Chains A and B, each alone.
Chain A
């Protein structure tokens, strides 16, 4: 039994309101590009081991389209949207609380969960925090920067190759018990070296195309009441992070040796983001 958490989505052409909050309603919504890797990991796990895959996201009602996109990519069986006016303008912390409540509700009411996959940082926030924070809220182990994954269903353990400190040169292999949360790295490459897996992949794709055509049938929406969440802890009120302003590119302090990094080059940006992460607030 797997689920895929898709906690946050946005695109480059974003709009901010006067207070500097992201206006999700005015921003064209697409799936977080970094979630594609998480989706690949979830899909690979499903193709190899079978099971049920659900995609979950928090956002306004328009996020249905994002979830349909997620369904198409991960060949999800169904999708869950955590959507409520009270949930608007959540920062990563509030999002994590909400998403973890969504996962808890899912486990209580839908099915037990072995794995939660999350993408490597969202394209809008670039904090890389929602995944770990959700996991903390769930009190599960977490494996981050995953580039290859293998599940032993009998032992109920997961083995993963991960990048140490996000460094492409250093790779370690770790094990963790299920249930577990997996945060994939953009370096994640799904591998299908078995003909049977490729045939399953093809079959799932055909099935999903039909399912995605009437996605609304497979979409469940939960609001804060469904999730039993106190409005004080979620949404804008529950968001301790204040992003004072958004600069296009973080510049290196001039007294130090400056290195030019193309902000569109995800791999090159990684070390930068890694450095910035501790200063990005939240604690």
Chain B
């Protein structure tokens, strides 16, 4: 008997299934519901936002076809923190700092821009999405993890994809999803809005998790501060906020930078680094974050009474390299981070806004092509809408492709860096005229989108600027960020005991050793994290092997790329639960 009342091969069907209730999934679902499409949203968190991390500034671009407040009335009042009214970058060399006003760059094409905390934002979106989708016979279900695709073979048999690693992307047409918690579900449209490390995009053969240089790793601390202190320390009113960026030698040679954004009652302070650079420099992400948190430049803001509410991390795709130009296969479309639609426009990070745009466009594409017998009609139309709306051009700027062919070659970088660091370069970068030119250059969206991903833009230029033009700051920063152990201890977990979501496939140091330092909750000298190295004796030889304990995992995705693992997200509701995000 089947006490579940389930019958074989009689699957539930929804017109659309949206996987993930972040900004991309929320936008897709809301727009689908507006088109009258019966839409089911499946979210693996206990609540939307419980798994999500961003910096985060959400932009509403003048040129975008959809912004979040178009789709969700009252978003800014109910779900966002402070608007950004002051935007600066600090070029740092030792204790010297040169600050440029980046407001022009920030305001370019910007209707408005607010800081957000993802638990608050996404859970609010989830409630609105549930209201909207309930009206068309669907709704949002949390605690449900989609674990694969449902496919129909040439004989019309519908079954889950082979769960083996060697599956072929062409082993049948994608017609639905399979879940840990539910029976398989068929749908006319499947929206993979499941974020970075999308298991669906990978299973469909649209994205891979191979190259560290296609990703950034973001690490962030939310710091408690009462609203009056925020106002007082940053010289702002209740309805104002600041965004500060940090680059230069405080991160040594790791390519990336830091940020500080003001929320209503807290600060978001974090770092974003190129993953390949973290690996190459064998850097410890939490130490880089601490280098920022304890730098004199932050002394006035957080130097006394530093109180960390939450430590979090997540990978960020680099759209310049990975935004998929045809993010669809059969009835599946990819939206947001799942499709690599995360734009790093110089120091400005735009992922949430593009996820919103893409989600809404995917919904429109389905509505336009509804009833078309060709299963890829919606996908093709979606790709065209991304192109026609100018979204793809932002994600994959042409000028970047041109610039990078020359600039990212090591030889060129070394020569350019050599010149910049030479006395002549210093004079050139360091004179007052250069100062104005540089501030303008930083503020040019064209120039920043061209900046090659070498240390020139991230480290050399800011450091030289800092050194040559910066003023020394002698403030004392007494902040004592918590240890990794304390940070892990403060996080909330619902561990899926006996069912780890990551397995090490190769425990040799060559294959997986990078995870020991690149994992944001592991460290070479710390035994309590996810990854550690151990010396084992085999036949008299001593060998270093890597071991893994997934309990403290924050599901950032890093070891899916830098180590040899079988990597999945935990079952619905299991694993880490962020309260801030």
Show the binding face of A for B, using Cβ within 8 Å. Answer: 48, 148-150, 159-161, 173, 191, 193-196, 198-199, 202-203
Contact = CB atoms under 8 A, between A and B. Distances in A.
A280 B182 CA distance: 44
A149 B2 CA distance: 9
B182 A193 contact: yes
Nearest to A189: B3
A173 B5 contact: no
A144 to B, nearest CB: 16
Interface in B1-40: 1-6, 12, 14, 40
A193 B6 contact: yes
Contacts of A203: 134, 139
Nearest to B184: A193
Interface string B166-198: 000000000000000111010000000000000
A150 B12 contact: no
Contact of B1 (A161, A191, A194, A198): A161
Contacts of A160: 3
B3 A195 contact: no
Contact of A194 (B2, B42, B138, B182): B182
A202 B40 CA distance: 13
B1 A195 contact: no
Contact of B3 (A159, A198, A199): A159
A163 to B, nearest CB: 13
Contacts of B130: 202
Contacts of B138: 199
Contacts of B4: 148, 150, 191, 193
B141 interface: yes
Contacts of A194: 6, 12, 182-183
Please indicate which of the listed interface residues B4, B14, B130 has the most CB atoms of chain A within 10 Å of its own CB. Answer: B4
B3 to A, nearest CB: 3
* Main SS class of interface, B: loop
Contact of B139 (A159, A193, A202): A202
Contact of B2 (A48, A150, A199, A202): A150
A132 B153 CA distance: 52
B191 to A, nearest CB: 15
Contact of A199 (B1, B141, B181): B141
Given A195-B40, A195-B141, A149 B182 contact: no
B185 A195 contact: yes
Contacts of B6: 193-194
A12 to B, nearest CB: 28
A149 B3 contact: yes
Nearest to A149: B3
B183 A198 contact: no
Interface string B269-286: 000000000000000000
Contacts of B144: 195, 198
A48 B5 contact: yes
A148 B3 contact: yes
Interface of B: 1-6, 12, 14, 40, 42, 130, 134, 138-139, 141, 144, 181-183, 185
* Main SS class of interface, A: mixed
Given A150-B1, A150-B2, A198-B141, 9 more contacts: A148-B4, A161-B1, A173-B1, A193-B181, A195-B14, A195-B185, A198-B144, A199-B134, A202-B141
A196 B38 CA distance: 12
A40 to B, nearest CB: 13
Given A193-B183, A195-B182, A199-B139, A161 B3 contact: yes
Contacts of B183: 193-194
A193 B179 CA distance: 9
Contacts of A149: 3
Nearest to A146: B3
A203 B138 CA distance: 11
A2 to B, nearest CB: 16
Nearest to B183: A193
Contact of B5 (A150, A199, A202): A150
30 contacts: A148-B4, A149-B3, A150-B1, A150-B2, A150-B3, A150-B4, A150-B5, A159-B1, A160-B3, A161-B1, A161-B3, A173-B1, A191-B3, A193-B4, A193-B6, A193-B182, A193-B183, A194-B6, A195-B12, A195-B14, A195-B42, A195-B182, A195-B185, A198-B182, A199-B40, A199-B138, A199-B141, A202-B130, A202-B139, A203-B139
Nearest to A159: B1
A248 to B, nearest CB: 33
B571 to A, nearest CB: 14
A148 B1 CA distance: 10
B418 to A, nearest CB: 61
Contacts of B2: 150
Contacts of B1: 150, 159, 161, 173
A31 to B, nearest CB: 24
A199 B142 CA distance: 10
A182 to B, nearest CB: 13
Contacts of A202: 130, 139, 141
Contacts of A159: 1, 3
Nearest to B133: A199
Contacts of A48: 5
A128 B142 CA distance: 37
A233 to B, nearest CB: 39
Nearest to B141: A198
A277 to B, nearest CB: 26
A44 B1 CA distance: 17
A191 B183 CA distance: 11
Nearest to B42: A195
B175 to A, nearest CB: 16
A194 B2 CA distance: 14
Contacts of B12: 194-196
Please indicate which of the listed interface residues B134, B144, B182, B183 has the most CB atoms of chain A within 10 Å of its own CB. Answer: B182
B572 to A, nearest CB: 11
A162 B2 CA distance: 13
A48 B130 CA distance: 21
Nearest to A198: B141
A194 B141 CA distance: 11
A130 B1 CA distance: 29
A191 B2 CA distance: 11
Nearest to A152: B5
A159 B2 CA distance: 9
Contacts of A150: 1-5
B348 to A, nearest CB: 39
A150 B12 CA distance: 18
B146 to A, nearest CB: 11
A159 B1 CA distance: 8
Contacts of B141: 195, 198-199, 202
Nearest to A202: B139
B431 to A, nearest CB: 65
Please indicate which of the listed interface residues B1, B5, B6, B144 has the most CB atoms of chain A within 10 Å of its own CB. Answer: B5
Please indicate which of the listed interface residues A173, A195, A203 has the most CB atoms of chain B within 10 Å of its own CB. Answer: A195
A153 to B, nearest CB: 11
Nearest to B138: A199
Please indicate which of the listed interface residues A160, A161, A198 has the most CB atoms of chain B within 10 Å of its own CB. Answer: A198
